[in-house]
A = this chain, B = another copy of it.
Amino acid sequence: MAEGEVQVDIKPAVNEDDDFVDPWTVTGKSDTGIDYDKLIKRFGSQKIDDELIQRFEKVTGKKAHHFLTRGIFFSHRDLNTILNLHEAGKKFYLYTGRGPSSESMHIGHMVPFMFTKWLQDVFDVPLIIQLTDDEKVLWRDLKIEDARKMAFDNAKDIIAVGFNQEKTFIFNDLDFVGQCPAFYQNMVRIQKCVTFNQVKGIFGFGESDVIGKITFPSIEAAPAFSTSFPFIFENKVLPCLVPCAIDQDPYFRMSRDVAARLKMPKPALLHSTFLPALQGAQHKMSSSDPNASIFLNDSPKQIKNKINKFAFSGGQATVDEHRLKGGNTSVDISYKYLTYFLEDDRRLAEIKNEYESGVLLTGELKREAINVITPWIQQYQQRRAKVTDEIVESYFKIRPIKL
């Protein structure tokens, strides 16, 4: 899956004033960030509302993740179908992925993976993670060998999230497509029912794009069909739930169209918002700008400095004015990060009240964020240090997985 670095011929957004969201570019027009309600309308997905969250809790018997209750995973397609299956004791599987990069992963990359791990624990189902190193070769000035190495390195960062090895299969396209005939056969099935005009409409590809880009959507779509992995699913047709950032939705709109034509179950979707860049909510956090991002290998000192120096503040110009008017949490980046990383709902509500009423100053709010993110990253780094090459290979191994 792709990030914002490389522009292809982009399908223009509907209006000049609209936020722009596609797999390669995300830009919000307002300092409060992307208008996700508008995006739901534009993409034709469904909002995750209180009723659905309640049903989720009822069916799973688990308290909903704060990513659900706080609208961080805000949109879905066919989540009810998945809940019906689970209720009936039937199995499905999870699929997510990443376009590997040479830069360190940042905390924004973790959001879909953290939630996917939680879903895997809640449902106890197999998980497929695709690393699209072929995509990176096609979109960037990058050699096959370097892309494969990036995928392997990134896999360590992902494994450190804590996925259950017994239930998780990770692969990189450049090695796996050549190891699984059923996967290539599903790519051909998908490539047979999608025209150039369709990928032009969905992804904005143009006539001067290379044929690798034009066919790439079939490679990201293939893992959404269980028959692509006969060593796991033994040719059983199992439905798939894809947790991902909303910018990947075009691939799965296409996959759902294809599913209907192949008489396969349409993949269900859970969409996340983007963790904003330090500088403000108009942009998502991006590896290509070190000052915009908190990386998974940042030291406590780097984290502290970046937040203190760069995190856009919703506070007022002076202490007196702040005490009087209070801060604006809807644009404050430190506060936004707390909504992602501070699990304690009560404490988050206190901070919000104190900041908005002017009791809490900007420096104090930043300290709260630093005090939540620093130990989170330190614990992550401890897990990451234990991920050896052998452990990576155990996730990449083509093997049966218990459903």
A355 to chain B, nearest CB (A): 49
Task: Select from chain B the residue with minimum beta-carbon distance to A183.
Answer: B178
Report which of B178, B207, B212 forms a contact with A181, defined as CB distance below 8 A: B178
Alpha-carbon gap, A217 to B210, bound state (A)? 12
B182 touches A178 (CB 8 A): yes
User: What residues on B are CB-neighbors of A177 within 8 Å?
Assistant: 177-178, 181, 184
A190 to chain B, nearest CB (A): 8
A211 touches B183 (CB 8 A): no
B179 touches A194 (CB 8 A): no
Q: Residue among A183, A195, A205, A209 with the most chain B CB within 10 A?
A: A195
Alpha-carbon gap, A181 to B209, bound state (A)? 24
With A199-B211, A212-B192 given, is the CB distance from A178 to B174 under 8 Å?
no
Within 8 A of B (CB), among A141-190: 144, 173-185, 188-189
Query: Within 8 Å of chain B (Cβ to Cβ): is A359?
Result: no
User: What residues on B are CB-neighbors of A220 within 8 Å?
Assistant: none
Task: Select from chain B the residue with minimum beta-carbon distance to A188.
Answer: B134
Query: Within 8 Å of chain B (Cβ to Cβ): is A305?
Result: no
A237 to chain B, nearest CB (A): 15
A210 touches B193 (CB 8 A): yes
A187 to chain B, nearest CB (A): 8
User: What residues on B are CB-neighbors of A214 within 8 Å?
Assistant: 196, 211, 214-215
Q: Residue among A183, A192, A194, A206 with the most chain B CB within 10 A?
A: A192
Alpha-carbon gap, A183 to B181, bound state (A)? 12
Alpha-carbon gap, A277 to B185, bound state (A)? 35
Residue-wise interface mask of A (211-247) relative to B, using a CB-CB cutoff of 8 A (1 in contact, 0 not): 1101101100000000000000000000000000000
Query: Within 8 Å of chain B (Cβ to Cβ): is A200?
Result: yes
User: What residues on B are CB-neighbors of A180 within 8 Å?
Assistant: 178
Alpha-carbon gap, A212 to B181, bound state (A)? 16
Query: Within 8 Å of chain B (Cβ to Cβ): is A191?
Result: yes
Alpha-carbon gap, A312 to B138, bound state (A)? 52
Query: Within 8 Å of chain B (Cβ to Cβ): is A302?
Result: no
Query: Within 8 Å of chain B (Cβ to Cβ): is A318?
Result: no
Query: Within 8 Å of chain B (Cβ to Cβ): is A208?
Result: yes
With A209-B195, A210-B193 given, is the CB distance from A144 to B178 under 8 Å?
no
B207 touches A197 (CB 8 A): yes
B212 touches A208 (CB 8 A): no
Query: Within 8 Å of chain B (Cβ to Cβ): is A64?
Result: no
A144 touches B196 (CB 8 A): no
Report which of B178, B185, B189, B215 forms a contact with A215, defined as CB distance below 8 A: B215
Query: Within 8 Å of chain B (Cβ to Cβ): is A137?
Result: yes
B212 touches A191 (CB 8 A): yes
Alpha-carbon gap, A212 to B198, bound state (A)? 13
**A residues at B contact (CB < 8 Å):** 134, 137-138, 144, 173-185, 188-189, 191-197, 199-200, 205-212, 214-215, 217-218
Pairs across A and B, CB under 8 Å, 13 listed: A138-B192, A173-B184, A174-B181, A174-B185, A174-B188, A178-B178, A178-B183, A179-B181, A191-B212, A194-B210, A195-B210, A195-B211, A211-B214
- The 5 nearest A-B residue pairs measured at CB: A191-B212, A178-B181, A215-B215, A178-B184, A177-B184
